[in-house]
């Protein structure tokens, strides 16, 4: 995809997320890999009203090339590109249910989004909970690197979800699926839902590739 097309796609999908309530105000950030670097949404920008020309371009080493100043979460995005070959886009949101879940004290840090349905297994996979650090802390990048590329999605404690994908549409779909699953987990919180079994999860991994 050309840089021009990538800029247009960021604006279109970011606006769609904003209009459907997946982010509010200036929360959240999106990046897309290019052949010669990557694009990332400017810090303090509203995902509903991005300007293609002002989206920040960084070179492969993370140096500012053009556009407004990058999101403060540049460390986090970069760590995902560097540890997960094939990553084409990263989406970070403060979507309501996933963020609410990230504030609960008793989540399983190794697997914090339960395998309720096949789709969350196929689109999102296992989600690690990362301990709280302040937004923009370079330590977030170190924590992502420590995972060694094992997870396409993480939940930042008391903050929100981050999802990597092979392209922007896939990353957005996965972020939406993660949010829907977090919502289901709240709807089911007083029940003891049947989760997919290890065998069923293994079958999904075998039959469908993400
Ligand atoms: O929560 C935060 O402050 C950031 O993670 C965020 O969502 C928005 O930061 P910028 O991308 O720097 O605007
Ligand atoms: Zn954030």
Ligand 1 atom nearest to CA at 23: 7
Q: Tell whether ligand 1 has an atom less than 6 A from the beta carbon of residue 24.
A: no
Q: Is 80 helix (H, G, I), strand (E, B) or coil?
A: helix
Whether 90 and 10 have beta carbons less than 8 Å apart is answered as no
- For residue 74, how far is its CA from the centre of ligand 1 (angstroms)? 10
Residue percentage of the chain with pLDDT more than 90: 98
Closest residue by Cα to atom 5, ligand 1, is: 135
- 128 pLDDT tier (thresholds 50, 70, 90): very high
Q: Which helix (H) or strand (E) holds 129?
A: strand 127-130
Q: Confidence band (pLDDT; 50, 70, 90) for 208?
A: confident
Q: With contact defined as beta carbons under 8 Å apart, do 128 and 154 qualify? A: yes
In the block, residue with structure tokens 């802390």: 137
Give dist(CA 157, CA 20) in Å, integer: 23
Query: Per the residue annotation, which of 3, 52, 119, 203 is the catalytic one?
Result: 119
The SS3 of residue 32 is: strand
Six-digit token string for 149: 């590329």
Ligand nearest to the CA of 72: 1
Q: Is the pLDDT of residue 210 over 90?
A: no
Q: What is the mean pLDDT of residues 13-40?
A: 98
pLDDT tens digits for range 141-200? 999 999 999 999 999 999 999 999 999 999 999 999 999 999 999 999 999 999 999 999
pLDDT of residue 159: 98
Cα–Cα distances (Å) from 44 to 54, 120, 187, 207, in that order, read 12, 30, 32, 41
Q: By C-alpha distance, which of 107, 115, 111 is closest to 195?
A: 115
Give percent of the chain with pLDDT exceeding 70. Answer: 99
Q: What is the pLDDT of residue 88?
A: 98
User: 132 catalytic, yes or no?
Assistant: no
Cα–Cα distance, 91 to 40 (Å, whole number)? 10
**pLDDT band, residue 112 (cuts 50/70/90):** very high
Atom of ligand 1 nearest to the CA of 156: 5
Q: How far is CA 194 from CA 23, 109, 112, 155, in A?
A: 30, 20, 16, 23
CA–centroid distance, 93 to ligand 2, in Å, is: 6
Are the beta carbons of 77 and 31 closer than 8 angstroms? yes
**Strands laid side by side in the 29-34 sheet:** 64-66, 56-59, 37-40, 29-34, 89-92, 160-165, 153-156, 127-130
Ligand 2 centroid–CA 59 distance in Å is: 23
Query: What CATH number should be reported for the domain whose range is 3-207?
Result: 3.40.225.10
Give 1-12 pLDDT, tens digit per residue.
Answer: 999 999 999 999
Ligand 1 atom with the smallest distance to the CA of 26 is: 13
Mean pLDDT of 43-61: 97
- Identify which of 28, 68, 69, 77 to mutate to test ligand 1's pocket (most ligand atoms within 8 A of the CB): 28
**3-class SS at 147?**
coil
User: Are 29 and 41 in contact, with CB atoms under 8 Å apart?
Assistant: yes
Residue 16 has a CB neighbour count (10 Å cut-off) of: 14
């Amino acid at each position: 995809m050309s840089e021009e097309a990538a800029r247009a796609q960021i604006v279109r999908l970011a606006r769609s997320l904003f209009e459907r309530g997946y982010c509010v105000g200036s929360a959240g950030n999106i990046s897309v890999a290019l052949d010669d670097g990557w694009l990332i949404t400017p810090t303090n920008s509203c995902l509903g009203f991005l300007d293609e020309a002002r989206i920040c371009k960084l070179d492969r080493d993370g140096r500012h090339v053009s556009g407004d100043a990058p999101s403060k979460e540049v460390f986090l995005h970069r760590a995902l590109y560097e540890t997960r070959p094939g990553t084409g886009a990263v989406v970070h949101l403060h979507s309501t249910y996933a963020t609410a879940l990230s504030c609960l004290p008793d989540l399983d840090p190794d697997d914090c989004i339960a395998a309720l349905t096949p789709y969350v297994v196929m689109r999102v996979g296992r989600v690690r909970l990362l301990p709280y650090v302040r937004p923009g802390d370079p330590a977030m990048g170190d924590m992502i690197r420590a995972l060694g590329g094992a997870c396409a999605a993480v939940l930042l404690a008391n903050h929100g979800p981050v999802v990597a994908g092979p392209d922007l549409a896939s990353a957005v779909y996965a972020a939406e699926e993660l949010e829907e699953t977090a919502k289901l987990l709240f709807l089911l919180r007083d029940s003891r839902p049947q989760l997919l079994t290890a065998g069923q999860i293994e079958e999904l991994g075998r039959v469908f590739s993400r």
